[in-house]
Amino acid sequence: MAGRDGETRVTVWVALAANLAICAAKALGGVVAGSPALLSEAAHSVADSLNEVFLLASVRRSRRPADERHPFGYGKERFFWSLLAAVGIFVTGGCFSVFQGVEALRGGGETHEGYAIGLAVLLVALLAEAGSLLRAVLQVRRAARAAGHGVAQEVREGRDPALRTVLAEDGTACVGVLLAMAGMALHLATGQVAYEACASILIGVLLVYVAYVLGKGARTHLIGEAADPRLRDEVHAYLDGQPEIDSVTALLTMRLGPDAVLLAAGIDLTAGYDSETVEDAMVRVRTELKRRWPELDQVFLDVTDAAAARNVKSSPKRPSSAW
């Protein structure tokens, strides 16, 4: 995961550098051309640049080791900063773009001086955004290949919120630039600013939708999302197959970070084992669980009181009610 984090940091830095350069060019071109669509795209780039800073902070802070106040580590920092990025897209990008479009419709101006500069700026921006998007897509493809599933599933279920946010931002940026270019071109061809104003509103609506999707995902992780059902089923099958375990009475999981899962399992023991044998078996089972599934960062195996009383010979030095 350390190598994956390094790759994610490079991807975010590439996106940040592209967005800072594009933001300055869009803002200058928007002021010169007086284009609401271009100014909307400048706001979009401001939001993206701020979000990249959030994502860089999330990658660094989430890797801090566990301590007394945070015994399960800081993995959920990734989800918190991703939520802030979603809020940034909504406020700075989406709301400002809709406002610019509505103001253009109310103004009704038909001037389009300097639009040649504006279109040139957008073309350069499109190339830069496409380059940043290509890098993010390549990283997603590698992650999907490593996980053994398709790219679409990796985009939907990807564990790295920083990479997912960059991918969403860059993809939205490319679509937004195309909408702005279309609006400016129609404005030039017809002399009607309504086309450009509508493009600005569409950009805002697109950003609001992307912010909603990213925020919803971050919220799900923050309130405690279960691990993948496939992982849960595999762990359940492994525990059921152990001779010392008669049945699994409960199996709960929660994702603590992009690569960390908490597992708590309630188990019923097979009759006839003494406490020392059971303890050795539980150590073996816990070790094997972490070896097979390295993402199981915290593993708790609990023997129910009824099972302990019925199946395990009590020992004053070796309590057997929980493992």
DSSP code of 303?
A: E
CA distance 249 to 83: 35
Judge whether 44 and 207 are in contact, CB under 8 Å.
yes
DSSP state letters, 194-241: HHHHHHHHHHHHHHHHHHHHHHHHHHHHHTTPPPPHHHHHHHHHHHHT
Locus of tokens 């709960």: 252
pLDDT digits (tens, 9 = 90+) for 139-194: 888 877 876 777 777 776 666 777 788 888 888 888 988 988 888 888 888 878 88
Banded model confidence at residue 254, pLDDT cuts 50, 70, 90? very high
State mean pLDDT over 37-45: 74
pLDDT band at 80 (very low <50, low <70, confident <90, very high): confident
C-alpha–C-alpha distance, residues 292 and 322, integer Å: 22
- Yes or no: say if 168 and 174 are a contact pair by the CB < 8 Å rule: no
Q: Helix %, strand %, coil % for the chain, to 5?
A: 70, 10, 20
The Cα–Cα gap between 283 and 290 comes to: 11
Q: What's the pLDDT tens digit per position in 46-65?
A: 777 887 888 888 888 887 88
Residue 314: its pLDDT value, please?
A: 45
Top-confidence residue, 233 or 169: 233
CA distance 304 to 290: 22
Instruction: Find out whether 187 and 112 touch, Cβ atoms under 8 Å.
Output: yes
For the chain, percent of residues with pLDDT exceeding 90: 10
pLDDT above 90 for 28: no
Point out which residues pair with 260 in neighbouring strands: 257
What average pLDDT does the chain have?
Answer: 80
End-to-end CA gap in the chain:
28
pLDDT at 308 (0 to 100): 44
Backbone angles phi, psi at 211, to 5 degrees: -60, -40
CA atoms within 13 A on the CB side of 55: 35
**Spatial separation of the C-alpha atoms in residues 28 and 25, rounded to whole Å:** 5
Share of the chain above pLDDT 70, in %: 88
Backbone phi and psi for residue 301, each to the nearest 5 degrees, phi listed first: -115, 120
The predicted pLDDT at position 253 comes to 93
Residue with the larger pLDDT of the pair 33 and 111: 33
pLDDT at site 236: 93
Strands lying side by side in the sheet with 245-257: 245-257, 260-269, 296-303
Which tokens hold the place of 182?
């279309």
